Amino acid sequence: MKKILIIIALILAVFFVLNLNVKQQGRADTQTTLPVSAAISYRGEAGKDALTILKQKFSVSQDSSGMVNLIEGRKADAGKHEYWAFYVNGKTASVGSADYKTTDKDLIEWKIEKY
Protein backbone atom coordinates (compact mmCIF):
# COMPACT_ATOMS: atom_id res chain seq x y z
CA MET A 1 0.00 0.00 0.00
CA LYS A 2 2.87 2.36 0.83
CA LYS A 3 4.43 1.78 -2.58
CA ILE A 4 1.19 2.66 -4.33
CA LEU A 5 0.86 5.91 -2.35
CA ILE A 6 4.47 6.82 -3.13
CA ILE A 7 3.93 6.13 -6.83
CA ILE A 8 0.76 8.23 -6.86
CA ALA A 9 2.57 11.07 -5.07
CA LEU A 10 5.42 10.93 -7.60
CA ILE A 11 3.01 10.97 -10.53
CA LEU A 12 1.20 13.97 -9.07
CA ALA A 13 4.50 15.78 -8.45
CA VAL A 14 5.65 15.16 -12.02
CA PHE A 15 2.28 16.33 -13.36
CA PHE A 16 2.50 19.51 -11.25
CA VAL A 17 6.03 20.33 -12.45
CA LEU A 18 5.19 19.64 -16.11
CA ASN A 19 2.01 21.70 -15.89
CA LEU A 20 3.90 24.61 -14.32
CA ASN A 21 6.55 24.51 -17.07
CA VAL A 22 3.91 24.49 -19.82
CA LYS A 23 2.21 27.52 -18.29
CA GLN A 24 5.49 29.44 -18.03
CA GLN A 25 6.57 28.57 -21.57
CA GLY A 26 3.13 29.39 -22.93
CA ARG A 27 3.43 32.94 -21.60
CA ALA A 28 5.13 34.16 -24.78
CA ASP A 29 2.65 32.38 -27.04
CA THR A 30 -0.55 33.49 -25.38
CA GLN A 31 -1.75 37.01 -24.88
CA THR A 32 -3.04 38.23 -21.59
CA THR A 33 -5.63 40.91 -22.14
CA LEU A 34 -5.32 43.95 -19.94
CA PRO A 35 -8.46 45.64 -18.61
CA VAL A 36 -10.12 48.49 -20.51
CA SER A 37 -8.53 51.14 -18.25
CA ALA A 38 -5.11 49.63 -18.78
CA ALA A 39 -1.81 50.67 -17.24
CA ILE A 40 1.53 48.94 -16.86
CA SER A 41 4.77 49.96 -15.21
CA TYR A 42 8.36 48.83 -14.88
CA ARG A 43 11.71 50.06 -13.62
CA GLY A 44 14.28 51.54 -15.94
CA GLU A 45 17.61 49.85 -16.59
CA ALA A 46 20.70 52.01 -16.90
CA GLY A 47 21.54 52.67 -20.54
CA LYS A 48 18.51 50.92 -22.05
CA ASP A 49 15.75 52.83 -23.79
CA ALA A 50 12.20 52.54 -22.48
CA LEU A 51 10.86 50.87 -25.64
CA THR A 52 13.47 48.10 -25.58
CA ILE A 53 12.65 47.29 -21.95
CA LEU A 54 8.91 47.37 -22.72
CA LYS A 55 9.40 44.84 -25.53
CA GLN A 56 11.51 42.60 -23.27
CA LYS A 57 8.86 42.50 -20.56
CA PHE A 58 5.57 42.58 -22.47
CA SER A 59 3.92 41.59 -25.73
CA VAL A 60 3.97 44.81 -27.79
CA SER A 61 2.84 45.98 -31.22
CA GLN A 62 3.52 49.25 -33.01
CA ASP A 63 1.74 50.95 -35.89
CA SER A 64 3.45 51.98 -39.13
CA SER A 65 4.59 55.27 -37.58
CA GLY A 66 6.28 53.46 -34.68
CA MET A 67 3.69 54.37 -32.04
CA VAL A 68 2.96 51.65 -29.49
CA ASN A 69 -0.63 50.63 -30.14
CA LEU A 70 -0.93 47.32 -28.27
CA ILE A 71 0.49 46.05 -24.97
CA GLU A 72 -0.36 42.59 -23.61
CA GLY A 73 -3.37 42.23 -25.89
CA ARG A 74 -4.86 45.64 -24.99
CA LYS A 75 -5.03 47.71 -28.15
CA ALA A 76 -5.48 51.46 -28.05
CA ASP A 77 -8.70 51.95 -30.01
CA ALA A 78 -8.25 54.89 -32.41
CA GLY A 79 -12.01 54.81 -33.08
CA LYS A 80 -12.50 55.68 -29.40
CA HIS A 81 -9.64 58.22 -29.55
CA GLU A 82 -7.40 56.09 -27.33
CA TYR A 83 -3.61 55.91 -27.25
CA TRP A 84 -0.89 54.45 -25.07
CA ALA A 85 0.60 57.38 -23.12
CA PHE A 86 4.23 57.09 -21.98
CA TYR A 87 5.28 58.45 -18.55
CA VAL A 88 8.61 58.74 -16.78
CA ASN A 89 8.58 59.18 -13.00
CA GLY A 90 4.94 60.26 -13.02
CA LYS A 91 5.32 62.89 -15.78
CA THR A 92 4.42 62.72 -19.44
CA ALA A 93 7.63 61.96 -21.34
CA SER A 94 9.04 64.75 -23.49
CA VAL A 95 10.61 62.30 -25.98
CA GLY A 96 9.53 59.00 -27.49
CA SER A 97 10.12 55.75 -25.67
CA ALA A 98 12.82 54.65 -28.15
CA ASP A 99 14.74 57.87 -27.46
CA TYR A 100 14.43 57.87 -23.67
CA LYS A 101 17.49 56.27 -22.06
CA THR A 102 16.42 55.04 -18.67
CA THR A 103 18.23 54.89 -15.34
CA ASP A 104 17.78 52.34 -12.57
CA LYS A 105 15.81 54.95 -10.62
CA ASP A 106 13.21 55.60 -13.34
CA LEU A 107 9.65 54.37 -13.07
CA ILE A 108 8.25 53.91 -16.57
CA GLU A 109 4.48 53.80 -16.99
CA TRP A 110 2.18 53.24 -19.96
CA LYS A 111 -1.50 54.16 -19.65
CA ILE A 112 -4.43 54.13 -22.05
CA GLU A 113 -5.62 57.72 -22.42
CA LYS A 114 -7.99 59.58 -24.70
CA TYR A 115 -7.37 62.52 -27.02
CATH number of the domain at 39-114, please? 2.170.130.30
pTM over 0.85: no
Tens-binned pLDDT, residue by residue, of the chain (115 aa)? 766 656 665 565 555 555 544 444 444 444 455 555 689 999 999 999 999 999 999 999 999 999 999 999 999 999 999 999 999 999 999 999 999 999 999 999 999 999 9
Q: For residues 9 and 49, what is the distance between their CA atoms, to the nearest angstrom?
A: 48
Q: For residues 35 and 74, what is the distance between their CA atoms, to the nearest angstrom?
A: 7
pLDDT at 18: 55
Q: Report the C-alpha dihedral over residues 71, 73, 74, 75, rounded to 10 degrees.
A: 80
Q: For residues 77 and 84, what is the distance between their CA atoms, to the nearest angstrom?
A: 10
